[in-house]
Structure 1
């Protein structure tokens, strides 16, 4: 999938606590970090999703939007957001969580683990570039895991990297 355009999508997502239709083309002219995670109500994913949400403004300063995707429905996303953090819930988020109950998006992006019907959590790519545009959406980079995000702007990398369960500035661009 590295040399192919990012597949477009249109589906319901949880955005600011409400259901909203989200399309990749909504982000025309911006960079997009689209991350997949296996399922809602898991024990590792909430810390990573919350850390991403907490740094939304850092991403936006770079002209970048962050969206999470799992094979759960928008109703499951709502339940997870409404579950207290002390009970492995998410609480309020600054990033949309897109529903992929049909698993079409996970399949289109090559991250569907077909034997389990969930998205993979594999190692991220180490490429220093990603030649993808879709009708004006700038360089869309998608990742199999949330260990760290590389958002590329030609040859510069995003000045944030995930560190443990949080984010920190990179000391130098890769």
Structure 2
């Protein structure tokens, strides 16, 4: 009878420890996602200043987004937050043998770096069409946002499934 009680106590401790471990992992993933998202917001603050003042005085939200995404720095922000999300998950992706996701992120980062360099060089020489910059920035930013955020959200969903 004593051995049964000891075995039950050990099993209860293991269940409690596993639940606590999953809760801690979930909290850490949520904190990582919030910090990543906050970093994007803080990175945008200097870029939002001028378009936001125009939004306040003119009230045109379409013009606000157009002015915001015509700044080439948006692509640089997209590159940096994609790198930060890759740094968070590259070890786990290698362990899970998800080389395809790593390569997709690297290809998108390389494409973004090339576009960023080309646009910066062309802007030095002459005025480039702002519509092209807007479309490239918006497309790249949205693509990298969903690729990066998807990694965080997928990890959170996997931990919830195990609970």
Regarding TM over 0.5, the answer is no
The one of the two structures with greater contact order (alpha-carbon pairs below 8 A, sep at least 6) is 2
Q: Which structure has the highest helix share of the two?
A: 2
Q: What is the TM-score normalised by the length of structure 2?
A: 0.27
Q: What is the TM-score normalised by the length of structure 1?
A: 0.26
Q: Which structure has the highest strand share of the two?
A: 1
Determine which structure has more spread, i.e. the larger CA radius of gyration: 2
